[in-house]
Structures are given as C-alpha cells and as structure tokens.
Amino acid sequence: MTHQHTPDVDFAAHADHLEHGARLWSEVSARIAAELPVAEGAVVADVGCGTGEMSLLLAGRVAPGGRVLAVDREAVLLDRVRQRAADAGLAGVVSTVQADLADLPGALPEPVQLLWAGHVVHHAGDQAAAVSALAAALAPGGVLALGEGGMQPRSLPWDVGVGRPGIEGRLAAAHEEWFAAMRADLPGSVRDARGWPAMLRAAGLIGVTARSWLLDRPAPLTDEERDGVLHRLAGNVERADRWLLPEDRASWQRLLDPADPAWLGHRDDLAVVAVDTVHIGRRPD
C-alpha cells in the first residue's frame, strides 16, 4: 500500500517488494476481505491500493455486477493493478483512479458501499481530516474499514548471538521514534491523541467496532518468507538508523550482510508473528 508522504521511494522499483510483502500477508488479507460487510453487486473502493492485493480480493466479493475502484496516487502501481486484474479475468470489475487522500471524496466517480483503506491514513498529516474525507465518500449505509494499528511483526529469537540480547525489541523502539519524527514532518501535521475508533465516531460514523487478525508463520520459513523478513528488517534499520545505539547499528550490519557468518539468512529459526487490526464504522442511512 502506498502512502501520502513517500517522496524518496521509487515505486517502479518498489512494486515487486510491495507484492512480495503482500504475499506474506495474503492469508490474513483473504480472511479480512471475506469478512468485510459487502454484498455482490456493490461498488467499493480500495484507497491506497498499492499493487492491488485487496482490490482483487474485493473484486471476488462483488462480482458479478459489482465494481472495485482501486485508488492510488502512483501511476506505476495502478498499471500493475490493471495488469493483475486482467490476468485474473477481473478487468471488467476493477477500475483505477489516480488520486491522493487529499483528493477525496471528489476524486471518486460515485459514493461507495464499502471503502477499504489499509495502512495509509497514518501517512496523512491530519489523520482525523483524512478519516472524515473517507467517510464522506460513503453512500448512505456504507462502511469504512480502516486497517491501522495492531502489532508490528516479530521474527527473531531474543538472543541472536551478536551484540546484546533483545536487539529486535530495541529496533522496534527506534522505529517508533522514526515514526514519530515522520509524522511530525508531514505537511499539515496535526498531533491527535484520540484512537482510531474516536476518529471514526467524530467523522459521523456509527456502530464503530474493531477486529484483529493474527499472522503466524512459525519456523522454518520458506525462502520467500525469509527474504521478506530480511527485507523488512533492513528497511526498518535504514529508517531507524538515527535512533539506533552504535552497538546495535554495528550488530545489524553483520546480521544483514550475506557475507557475514552471522547473517540472519543462515538461520532456520526465523518466524513471523504479527497482528493486523481493522476499525469499522458505518455511515447512517
């Protein structure tokens, strides 16, 4: 899924990585899509669609007769969505809309019965305003499903034999510092101490609730899953570098270097445990 404030990302090169990460979460995504309240024939939107994982899953829910509007600001990702939809025989169900969060609801051709926004709203400077814009895109009785929060993945043993034990926990703490700095630097950034349910209610939605899904990939991982873990850890280390302890920075350099005997890719005890939370609210009829 793409974000509003990612000027340093080459999405043409990054699309494969996005699909790789989506495959790791594919089972969870399928379970979420299967339980979202949407009927055959409905018009739905996938805002911040990335390479279209959820768009295709939702297309399976609304076809025949329904439509999925895959919304993203990056044209190269929308090209990938159209190709994937064609390959899946869903070209007549999935259409694309090039737009940013700030362009909603006006960028959508019509109100929708379901709007899915997965891990994109936290990249809006004013999150509450973004939630209100998404809610305004709903038809009467329509549902907003917001994928935000949960628990970030954990993959490593407590002691990996390099540096001090607990290195993944300290990386998570440093990544939180990066996230706070990223939020503060967003255009129009507004600090909001409310949780997502309160923002949905403030946007006029009713029946607000939440559900969490567990991603559990025990060791040993497949090669593809292992590569996904290493790619995620490398990205987190790169983003959090400013907040890492010097000792940990040196340890991560070894752990992520395929030429080092300590390379994490040599291990058979990597796993993935994470939680994805979805907040849901309905526009009054």
Alpha-carbon distance of 182 to 242, in angstroms, equals 12
Share of the chain above pLDDT 90, in %: 89
Confidence of residue 21 (pLDDT cuts 50, 70, 90): low
70, 78 contact by CB (below 8 A): yes
pLDDT of residue 18: 65
> Which pLDDT tens digit goes with each residue over 115-146?
999 999 999 999 999 999 999 999 999 999 99
pLDDT of residue 4: 40
Alpha-carbon distance of 220 to 89, in angstroms, equals 34
Question: What is this structure's pTM?
Answer: 0.90
pLDDT of residue 272: 96
Alpha-carbon distance of 185 to 242, in angstroms, equals 15
Q: Name the helix (H) or strand (E) containing 206.
A: strand 206-217
Fill in the DSSP letter of residue 165. Answer: S
Alpha-carbon distance of 125 to 128, in angstroms, equals 9
Alpha-carbon distance of 18 to 228, in angstroms, equals 10
Domains of the chain, first to last: 11-282 (3.40.50.150)
Q: Name the helix (H) or strand (E) containing 184.
A: helix 167-185
Alpha-carbon distance of 279 to 32, in angstroms, equals 11
